[in-house]
Amino acid sequence: MVKLTLRSLSFPSMMTTLDQTKELFRRADAVCFDVDSTVIKEEGIDELAKFCGVGDAVREMTRKAMGGSVTFKKALTDRLSTIRCSREQVNKLITDHPPQLTPGIRELVDRLHELNIKVFLVSGGFRCIVEHVASQLNIPLQHVYANRLKFYFNGEYAGFDESQPTAESGGKGKVISMLKEQYGFKTVVMIGDGATDLEACPPASAFIGFGGNVVRPQVKERCSWFVTSFGELLKELEKI
């Protein structure tokens, strides 16, 4: 399997200019958001690891994965094998430490909905956590694409559903291609903080890098529009 490195991926060096990216955002049919460190402040898998007592080890694995130095599926498999969370632990995490929304995301999603721009959450994180986030933002659950944890009958960890497109390197791009085919979207914009988000353009029409929670230099250097607050995107929509 080819390693997910930014150098090895064939991104166009100038995907779009800043003005082109802004225009594509304003006339988007759909906007796809990454979730961890974008829509929410934290990395869900790191929070789960911390809750299960293996936070430091898994945080380092996540850092390497987001920097693009290992394949996504390997990083996910290794991290989950270290955490080995039970169903009870996952449910308790969501109850006791619900994910924290990034400031401005609620207003941005509301405005996109007002403009009849469809909003999707496309995450390499866990569906059980991402669905909780979607509900807070009034995003339909059928607009959520994320990984599914599997548990034995007794609630112990049994792995994850490897058939989900988001379990693979390049998975977010596969989801966007699927959305274009299913809904007939012409213009889809991807917004996120990590290498797997940048990798989704193309097939995404444009990519907007988000650094409001963490700035990943490899991503910032490769995108034409990099923002550190959702207010910047909301301001752009005011021009419509």
User: Is residue 36 flagged as an active site residue?
Assistant: yes
Considering the candidates 36, 46, 193, 197, report the single residue annotated as catalytic: 36
**C-alpha to C-alpha distances, 95 to 51, 58, 89, 205, nearest whole angstrom:** 12, 21, 10, 37
Considering the candidates 29, 34, 96, 161, report the single residue annotated as catalytic: 34
Task: State the pTM of this model.
Answer: 0.83
Q: What pLDDT digit, counting tens, does each position of 29-69 carry?
A: 999 999 989 999 888 888 889 888 888 888 777 666 655 56
Q: What pLDDT digit, counting tens, does each position of 100-120 carry?
A: 899 999 999 999 999 989 999
Q: What pLDDT digit, counting tens, does each position of 163-173 carry?
A: 888 877 788 88
Nearest to 105 by CA among 18, 196, 41: 41
Phi and psi torsions of 85, nearest 5°: -75, 150
Amino acid at 96: D
pLDDT at 4: 42
**C-alpha to C-alpha distances, 175 to 119, 143, 183, nearest whole angstrom:** 13, 11, 12
Q: How far apart are CA 55 and CA 13, in angstroms?
A: 36
Query: Could you give the angle at the alpha carbon of 158 between the alpha carbons of 143 and 129, nearest 5°?
Result: 30
Tell me the longest C-alpha to C-alpha distance in the chain.
54
Q: How far apart are CA 198 and CA 35, in angstroms?
A: 14
DSSP, res 99: P
Q: How far apart are CA 121 and CA 144, in angstroms?
A: 5
pLDDT at 235: 83
Q: How far apart are CA 45 and CA 129, in angstroms?
A: 10
